[in-house]
């Protein structure tokens, strides 16, 4: 029905739904032939570090020369075992190594592909590993203990223990008889003789030096004793 000779407005159709939620196309996936082993990943994964060789490999604007095998996989002449941790790091951001994988091998690949954050992470892992090995070789805390034995008379003992400094600490006191008994002196002023065992801890790389033992500083093995 018309009013005043004016036709009614025409109906318009609703816009078509957007297709932006469509799944990624097959072109987002990439094959890499690393040392004869094929890896399947995505352009997004390889582009995590935009300064890396892998990003340049799949960047259409890059001038990086590349070759492909008969299946279209990019050919990379590198070690596939050490490449796998590099690729997994780009996937989830974690450094995961098998027990038979050496950190140095992964570092070599990370440097080749120029994955900068992974390079720093592997170097830190190597440093931690080496520190643990050093601590294991040198005992708890990576420190080593040095023992010395001092021979003293009874009247010198208190003063000796009270004046120890520079990190030396008392460990053990061993009686070795008296002066008269040891040297067959006459008279009644015999004094008891002791061996005072002291120790000090040093860092694992410390160069421990000291004066030659005097007549009052003897090595423990001379007395066939142990601590």
| pLDDT tens string 154-181 | 778 777 777 776 778 888 888 887 655 5
pLDDT (mean) for 124-145:
78
The answer to whether the predicted template modeling score (pTM) of the entire model surpasses 0.85 is: no
Q: Is residue 164 part of a domain?
A: yes
Show which of 107, 137, 167 is a domain's final residue. 137
CATH number of the domain where residue 198 is located:
3.30.70.2000
Please give the C-alpha separations between residue 201 and each of 57, 107, 146, 147, in angstroms, as whole numbers: 55, 35, 6, 9
Q: Which residue has the higher pLDDT, 191 or 1?
A: 191
Mean pLDDT, all residues of the chain = 78
Residues 92 and 157 in one domain: no
Judged against a pLDDT cut of 80, whether residue 20 lies above it is answered with no
Strand pairing partners for 151?
A: 195
pLDDT (mean) for 8-16:
49
Q: Which residue has the higher pLDDT, 10 or 37?
A: 37
Show which of 119, 137, 155 is a domain's final residue. 137
Residues 125 and 174 in one domain: no
pLDDT digits (tens, 9 = 90+) for 183-222: 555 555 567 888 888 888 877 666 666 544 433 344 444 5
pLDDT (mean) for 220-227:
47
Q: Is residue 128 part of a domain?
A: yes
Residues 74 and 99 in one domain: yes
Residues 55 and 105 in one domain: yes
Residues 83 and 132 in one domain: yes
Domain span at residue 129?
26-137
Q: Which residue has the higher pLDDT, 110 or 135?
A: 110
CATH number of the domain where residue 84 is located:
3.30.710.10
Residues 184 and 101 in one domain: no
- Distance (Å, rounded) from C-alpha 4 to C-alpha 17? 38
Residues 120 and 155 in one domain: no
Contacts of 113 (CB under 8 A, 6+ apart): 52, 53, 54, 86
For the ranges 12-26, 64-78, 136-150, which has the lowest average pLDDT?
12-26
Residues 131 and 148 in one domain: no
Half-sphere exposure at residue 142, Cβ-oriented, CA atoms within 13 angstroms: 12
Q: Do the beta carbons of residue 182 and residue 112 sit within 8 Å?
A: no
Show which of 120, 137, 154 is a domain's final residue. 137
Q: Is residue 76 part of a domain?
A: yes
Q: Which of 5-19, 22-36, 108-122, 197-211 has the highest mean predicted lDDT (pLDDT)?
A: 108-122
Residues 51 and 96 in one domain: yes
Domain total of the chain: 2
Residues 103 and 152 in one domain: no
Residues 33 and 131 in one domain: yes
Judged against a pLDDT cut of 90, whether residue 122 lies above it is answered with yes
What's the distance, CA 62 to chain centroid?
35
pLDDT digits (tens, 9 = 90+) for 56-90: 999 999 999 999 999 999 999 999 999 999 999 99
Contacts of 6 (CB under 8 A, 6+ apart): none
Q: How far apart are the first and last CA of the chain?
A: 117
Q: Is residue 185 part of a domain?
A: yes
Contacts of 62 (CB under 8 A, 6+ apart): 56
Residues in the chain: 227
């Amino acid at each position: 029905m018309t009013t005043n000779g004016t036709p009614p407005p025409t109906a318009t159709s609703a816009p078509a739904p957007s297709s932006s939620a469509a799944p990624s196309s097959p072109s987002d996936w990439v094959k890499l032939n690393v040392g004869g082993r094929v890896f399947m990943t995505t352009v997004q994964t390889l582009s995590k570090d935009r300064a890396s060789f892998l990003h340049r490999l799949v960047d259409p604007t890059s001038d990086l020369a590349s070759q492909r095998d008969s299946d279209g996989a990019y050919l990379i002449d590198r070690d596939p075992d050490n490449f796998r941790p590099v690729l997994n790091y780009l996937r989830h951001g974690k450094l995961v190594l098998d027990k038979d994988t050496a950190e140095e091998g992964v570092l070599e690949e990370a440097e080749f592909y120029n994955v900068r954050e992974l390079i720093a992470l592997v170097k830190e892992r190597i440093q931690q590993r080496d520190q643990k090995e050093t601590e294991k070789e040198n005992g708890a805390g990576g420190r080593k203990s040095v023992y010395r034995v001092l021979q003293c008379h009874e009247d010198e003992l208190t003063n000796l223990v009270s004046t120890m400094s520079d990190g030396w600490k008392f460990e053990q006191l061993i009686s070795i008889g008296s002066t008269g008994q040891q040297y067959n002196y006459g008279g009644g002023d015999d004094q008891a003789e002791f061996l005072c065992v002291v120790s000090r801890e040093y860092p694992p790389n410390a160069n421990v030096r000291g004066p030659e033992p005097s007549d009052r500083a003897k090595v423990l093995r001379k007395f066939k004793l142990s601590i």
